[in-house]
Structure 1
Amino acid sequence: MHKFFNLFLFLLIFFNVSHLHPFVVINDLSPDEIWTKTEFVLSGHVGYSGYINVNQTMDANLFYIFWESLDQNPDAPVLLWLQGGPGCSSLWGLFKENGPLLIQSDGSLLTNPWTWNNNYAILYIDNPVGAGFSYSTNPKGYVTSESQMSQDLYTGLKVFFAKYTKYSANDFYVFGESYAGKYVPAIAYRIHEDGNKLNMKGFGIGDGLSDPSLQTNYFADYSYSTGLLDEQERIDIKLLEADLLLQIENQEWDNCLDNFEKITNEISELSGGINKYDIRLYQPYDSKPITNFLNLQSVKDTFGANADWEFCAKETRNGLKIDFCQSVKPLVDVLIQSGYQALFYSGQFDLIVNYMGSSNFIEQINWSGKQNWLESDRIVWKNNDEVVGYVKNYQNLYHILINKAGHMSPMNQPQNTLDMVSRFINNKPFS
């Protein structure tokens, strides 16, 4: 009876996933026809960049930058990094978070001692089409769903590893943050569905929005608990949350993104202009230095980029408005049940995808270890004898709170996020 129930549960999950996300179509474009590569040297660091045409009909092109591991280990795991948005460039992660070089406020480059690139090869892809240097000459090339996104991205990954064959057998991990809470499960599931030909071992999501129905009903409580709202304001925001959840339940996707932003903007206004990505700040992030740097003609020539760069592209964002409030939880369920290593981490001071909402989402994941996960103890994580966070783990599932970090933990806590990633990949305990 137990075996029959498990089989029934698997078939139910698979049917639901297949119905919601038809991820079985694989694009087999010829690698030789859709590939460009540039080798460059930037501040003594050698990298590779270029374009992969992932849809010839729409002339849709994904831009990438690839850095081999700085320790020159030929067996180094390959990490894919995806930014969120939707529509934001992964080069923000490269030059502001975990890459080998960081752009300073004056536009200069500084070597990052805590780069994930020290021991890992990292592939940054401006995803989806239209983000960063990626582009399409046809407006229909912009994606409107996670199914389209993952098909384009999987095409790009297959072409990449067909060219960088010396890395095709290395361990592969998919990482991303924010709206990549959708992208990461979507591309990981597509890789899994196609027989895991890329040797994917796991995935990591930082402050990721994966299931708005489970994550967006904690804005008021988080804001009240941190003193941003009083009781009456908390009640008012709770009413807006209830309206949003009803909209999601009724699958009214058209204005869901606008209503989501209405809630977070209202909290920001009530609290005196708080930065919803980091409640310690009362001003937005400054993207001018990186924007000016990447739009220098000399830099674009160096990378072989033939588009203008902006941090977050409106066309790409608008294309995914219908997708915004939909869930990828069924994909996460399958991936974790299938045994892939799964890391979810949350910055302590992030409001927009806060720890409370992420915890609720993770507690609802359907897998065989769910009850043991719920009953497992959260442990204190120390780095260099300093308490830097808290870890809840059972088998292949991790959820980590990173102290003194906002929405972009690698930017705020580079040393500790590197320690986290290294422990996760090398299966080293956090205690």
Structure 2
Amino acid sequence: MASSRRRVQALNATSGVLPAVGLEGLRSPHHTGYINVDYTNVGDIFYWHFDADPDDASESSATLPLVIWLQGGPGCSSLIGLFLECGPFRMHDDGSVAPNPHGWHKAANVLFVDQPVGTGMSRVQHDAYPSSGDQVAAHFYLFLVGFLKQHPQYLRGDSTRPIFLFGESHAGRWIPQFHTYIARQNAKQSPSSFHIHIEGVGIGNGWIHPHVQYDYSAFAHGLGLISHAQRRSLELDCQAAIDAGNMNTPECFRNLDSIVASVQGGTSRLNVFDVRLYGDAALYPAQKPLLTTFLNRPDVRTAMASVEKSQLVKGTPHEFAECNAYVNRNLAGEDAVSTLADVNAMLANGVRVLLYNGQWDMMCNALNTELLVEQLTWVGRTTYVGARRFTWRLASGRVPAGFVQSGGNLTSIVVRDAGHLVPYDAPEAALDMVKRFIHSRSFEDIEQQVANQDDGPSQRCQSRQSDDGSSSHVMMVVAVASGVVAALLTWLLMRPQVVAAKRTHDEECGGEDSSSSDDDDDGVEEDLMQGHVELTRKETATSRTRKTIDIA
């Protein structure tokens, strides 16, 4: 640990502005750098930091929060996010790069991080790639401490300026795990001497809870890609394995493969990251191969190196790849582990949580995100469930940007016309979303007319049974009361005849003590009423049986 701290202290250097390599025109000061997190294996995490450049003159980078962007994978570079999604630069179809008018530096200071070690521009020796989420979280914490020590403008006494963690896909695992680790270290106050203040998190199309997210059949059925019968077949195969705790099973992976194979057009396969597209999913976005070429250009690498805060490894930089297969393979087992408990812990600790999904992504789709939200149990759940859903609109748009539900410290959004990479498909909406979220501005533009009901099909059925039971109870009481009245009327009508018959019988048989007549009358009355009540009970029981059959 001490050697890692010494290595961090050696990273201080002056920052600069990246020379023009097609990246000119950006007003924000920015720089690249490395932070060592594994001294033994030369594990250095690469970052690219951009000062905020807000359109609002009343805001400045000195007061705006820090947004940290984490790509998924695992093992994919955050430079994908920087150049193709939410960064200050945007790569076009011809490979050229220009300032991005919808970059998130318009809302906050932004930090793009290539992690775990070995990802993107980050590096590690001896093939010492991390093999567990805990190890990745520990490295990220060391990185964050080192970065904040280099950038004291984000420190406020014994705490930091508000920090937001954003990311997509596998970041649904990174972010909850990182928050749990940071909270644990904050309690220890070691090795940093300051509290790292995570104000909020944003998880886009996140892989969080495999138990519900492995099953794609309901989403595919809703899109009309498969029939109801096909859906049931796929559900049964996968769910049986999931219920047995076998998350990484062929049945679950075949669930998605079967859907894709069923709807392919010739040799062109459905793109699971955006079901509006057909073709190689690895080419979404289409500019990814161009980005790899760009970042391996000697002039670009020289320009990036010239503004690094440090040069830890001399010589020719390693070749950039947008995703590292070795990192991915080492962490493959993590895919089956749920981080739902970590999300619950974030919410319970008051962290503001945003879960957003592109409407057309099947891999980490909006339906399954809604299902995992239903399993959250933090104290604010009732407020969230009772909150109305709203249509969210942009100031410049005539059509909705998305659909939002927000209650307590949880906000969930379905972003219209977007796939797995929301800032790529809907850049203007993504920027507006981030601005509203980090500044706690409302998404309540147009209230939807349908209210929420916090129950599933079984609860709805139970509610109907309860209602029917109440009605049956009332009907039974009325029936019994009617029976009693009928018995009394019958007795009143029949009593004179019964009394006369009894007197005749007594006279013919030598006479009985007339004093017993009242008792006998009472016995007749009891017999009549008892017989009618028994009949009523039998009718009621029959009615109950018939009602149960109707409900079933």
Please give the range of the TM-score, normalised by the shorter of the 2 chains: 0.7 to 0.9
Against the structure 1 CA distance between its residues 398 and 175, is the aligned structure 2 distance closer, same or farther, given a 3 Å change threshold? same
Against the structure 1 CA distance between its residues 314 and 208, is the aligned structure 2 distance closer, same or farther, given a 3 Å change threshold? same
Letter in 2 for 1:281: L
Residue 131 of structure 1: CA displacement?
A: 1.4
Q: Match for residue 206 of structure 2?
A: 208
8 Å CA contact 1:145–1:320 kept in 2: the answer is yes
8 Å CA contact 2:45–2:122 kept in 1: the answer is yes
Q: Match for residue 222 of structure 1?
A: 219
Q: Match for residue 67 of structure 1?
A: 50
Q: Secondary structure at the match of 1:194?
A: helix
Q: Secondary structure at the match of 1:135?
A: coil
- Looking at structure 1, the residues matched to 406 and 207 of structure 2 have their Cα atoms a distance apart, in angstroms, of 20
Q: TM-score, normalised by structure 2?
A: 0.69
Against the structure 1 CA distance between its residues 144 and 291, is the aligned structure 2 distance closer, same or farther, given a 3 Å change threshold? same
8 Å CA contact 1:201–1:341 kept in 2: the answer is yes
1:56-135 paired onto structure 2 within 5 Å = 56-71=39-54, 72-135=60-123
Q: 2:337 aligns with which of 326, 336, 343?
A: 326
8 Å CA contact 1:53–1:59 kept in 2: the answer is yes
1:5-84 paired onto structure 2 within 5 Å = 29-30=5-6, 31-33=8-10, 39-41=16-18, 42-45=23-26, 46-71=29-54, 72-84=60-72
- Looking at structure 2, the residues matched to 143 and 134 of structure 1 have their Cα atoms a distance apart, in angstroms, of 13
- Looking at structure 2, the residues matched to 376 and 70 of structure 1 have their Cα atoms a distance apart, in angstroms, of 34
- Looking at structure 1, the residues matched to 10 and 251 of structure 2 have their Cα atoms a distance apart, in angstroms, of 43
- Looking at structure 1, the residues matched to 2 and 172 of structure 2 have their Cα atoms a distance apart, in angstroms, of 22
Residue 406 (str. 1) matches residue 424 (str. 2): no
8 Å CA contact 1:191–1:197 kept in 2: the answer is no
Residue 369 of structure 1: CA displacement?
A: 1.3
Residue 264 (str. 1) matches residue 275 (str. 2): no
- Looking at structure 2, the residues matched to 36 and 307 of structure 1 have their Cα atoms a distance apart, in angstroms, of 22
- Looking at structure 2, the residues matched to 309 and 259 of structure 1 have their Cα atoms a distance apart, in angstroms, of 35
Q: Match for residue 165 of structure 2?
A: 174
Deviates more, 1:196-205 or 1:273-282: 196-205
- Looking at structure 1, the residues matched to 321 and 5 of structure 2 have their Cα atoms a distance apart, in angstroms, of 28
- Looking at structure 2, the residues matched to 289 and 105 of structure 1 have their Cα atoms a distance apart, in angstroms, of 8
Residue 294 (str. 1) matches residue 295 (str. 2): yes
- Looking at structure 1, the residues matched to 379 and 106 of structure 2 have their Cα atoms a distance apart, in angstroms, of 35
8 Å CA contact 2:107–2:431 kept in 1: the answer is no
- Looking at structure 1, the residues matched to 426 and 273 of structure 2 have their Cα atoms a distance apart, in angstroms, of 14
Q: 1:193 aligns with which of 159, 163, 184?
A: 184
Unaligned runs of 5+ in 2: 55-59, 187-193, 309-316, 445-552
Q: Secondary structure at the match of 2:369?
A: helix
Q: Secondary structure at the match of 1:239?
A: helix
8 Å CA contact 1:60–1:129 kept in 2: the answer is yes
- Looking at structure 1, the residues matched to 99 and 254 of structure 2 have their Cα atoms a distance apart, in angstroms, of 39
The CA deviation string for residues 35-78 of structure 1, in whole angstroms up to 9 with x for no partner, is: 67763423133421121111111221111111111235311111
- Looking at structure 2, the residues matched to 65 and 229 of structure 1 have their Cα atoms a distance apart, in angstroms, of 44
Letter in 2 for 1:403: R
Residue 371 of structure 1: CA displacement?
A: 2.5
Q: Secondary structure at the match of 1:323?
A: helix
Residue 339 (str. 1) matches residue 350 (str. 2): yes
Q: Match for residue 138 of structure 1?
A: 126
Q: Match for residue 5 of structure 1?
A: none
Residue 394 of structure 1: CA displacement?
A: 0.8
Question: Once superposed, what is the RMSD of the aligned Cα atoms?
Answer: 2.1
Q: Secondary structure at the match of 2:16?
A: strand
Against the structure 1 CA distance between its residues 329 and 289, is the aligned structure 2 distance closer, same or farther, given a 3 Å change threshold? same
Percent of paired sites with the same residue: 29
Q: Secondary structure at the match of 1:350?
A: coil
Letter in 2 for 1:282: Y
Q: Secondary structure at the match of 1:185?
A: helix
8 Å CA contact 2:4–2:38 kept in 1: the answer is no
Residue 29 of structure 1: CA displacement?
A: 2.5
Residue 101 of structure 1: CA displacement?
A: 0.8
The CA deviation string for residues 282-317 of structure 1, in whole angstroms up to 9 with x for no partner, is: 023222111111111221222228221111110010
The CA deviation string for residues 207-246 of structure 1, in whole angstroms up to 9 with x for no partner, is: 00011113223x0010011011123432332234225414
- Looking at structure 1, the residues matched to 343 and 423 of structure 2 have their Cα atoms a distance apart, in angstroms, of 23
8 Å CA contact 1:35–1:52 kept in 2: the answer is no
Q: Match for residue 280 of structure 1?
A: 276
The CA deviation string for residues 110-133 of structure 1, in whole angstroms up to 9 with x for no partner, is: 221111111311100011112111
